[in-house]
Amino acid sequence: MVFLPEIGRKEFAILGVLGEHGTPLGAAIIARELTSHGIELTERAVRYHLQALDRAGLTESLGRSGRRLTEAGRLELANARVADKVALTFARIETLAYQTTFDVTEGSGKVAINISLFRQSDLDAALRLMRPAFRSRYSTGDLVAYFQPGQRVAGQVVPRGMVGLGTVSSVTLIGVLLHQGIPVHSQFGGLLEVARHEPVRFTDVIQYGGTSVDPVEVFIRSRTSSVTQAVATGGGKIGAGFRTCPAVAREHIMRLVDDMAAWRLRGVLAIGAESRPLLEMQVDVGRVALVSCAGLNPVAVAEEAGFATASHAMAMMLHYKDLEPIAG
């Protein structure tokens, strides 16, 4: 049995960046990528941590090409402490929310987006299936971005024969509320049952404090959603998140939701009453709950139809002006 050394959060974050890319990286690129995880390290500091990881046998130097994970490093990354992984997930949500600068008055600024990769040969057919979902109340809007092969997106290059599709992340809503002085607590994500086009209850949930990836990604990969059915018939299971805010901000939140909808950004399915349960979920005294759709719901439609996708929720920031309405 191999005993691996105890590593800190910064070292784990570096391993995570190397693992995400799958190719050797230099200290400068690693330092830049770490900022998206809420970790600020200078290039010199990254080199220091890389030397420690080299000594631990978790990374190895390839000279000017940079560092890559060793087999032991990949094992450590796979079995790393859950607490470390969760800390990175929360940091990701908080970082992107803070970086959101979308102005509901001007319709400008940065929004958080998800990235999904499709085979180029599949995209047109997949888009035909996804369009109704994009235009339904189960999406975060019908604005998208396209990324071509060879283009660098969220620190990775879109592979040959693939195309990237950017969808608005529900983190954008958190960011808009945050910059209006409204704190948001993200409790869990999961599958939300809808009937007659109205939300009924969550059937499967994953606490944001208990997962290292976006919960909706988990359900999309397992193909347990039924977004296609929900859009077509009003009944099915969609990806959604459950969040709470101070109850005193309820009217302000409702106005902001309407303001965002004017710019084709939506996704809030329900807002509860002060200190009252919402969709059978308890809410603390002095707080109000809201249920927001997952930005990846249209991509779930493609997955349900058998198209192979690779999605990365909360992937990056993008200027609102670089989004375009889905065609057709």
Q: Which of 88, 61, 57 is nearest to 71 (CA)?
A: 57
- Rounded average pLDDT over 196-209: 84
Per-residue pLDDT at 82? 46
CA gap 139, 24 in Å, rounded? 37
Per-residue pLDDT at 11? 84
Phi, psi of 76 (to 5 degrees): -60, -40
Q: Name residue, tokens 């939506």.
A: 266
pLDDT in tens, 56-82: 889 999 998 899 999 888 877 766 544
For residues 85 and 212, the answer to whether their CB atoms sit within 8 Å is yes
3-state secondary structure of 253: helix
Per-residue pLDDT at 3? 35
- CATH C-level class of 9-80: mainly alpha
Q: Which of 289, 291, 279, 292 is nearest to 249 (CA)?
A: 289
pLDDT in tens, 1-49: 333 344 567 888 898 889 888 789 999 999 988 886 668 889 999 999 9
Burial of 203 (0-12, 13-18, 19+ CB in 10 A): exposed
Are the folds of 9-80 and 110-325 the same? no
- Tokens of residue 69, six digits: 């994970």
pLDDT in tens, 170-185: 999 999 999 999 999 9
Quickly state the pLDDT bin for 191 (edges 50, 70, 90).
very high
Q: Name residue, tokens 């369009």.
A: 131
Per-residue pLDDT at 295? 94
Measured on CA atoms in the order 118, 146, 99, 287, is the torsion positive or negative?
negative
Phi, psi of 300 (to 5 degrees): -60, -35
pLDDT reading at 158 higher than 80: yes
- Lowest pLDDT segment from 87-91, 197-201, 252-256, 320-324: 87-91
- Rounded average pLDDT over 136-150: 95
**Beta pairing class for 162-168 and 143-147:** antiparallel
CA gap 135, 87 in Å, rounded? 34
Per-domain residue ranges of the chain? 9-80, 110-325
Residue 236 vs residues 34, 67, 192, 221, 266: alpha-carbon distances, Å: 38, 46, 8, 17, 20
- CATH C-level class of 110-325: alpha beta
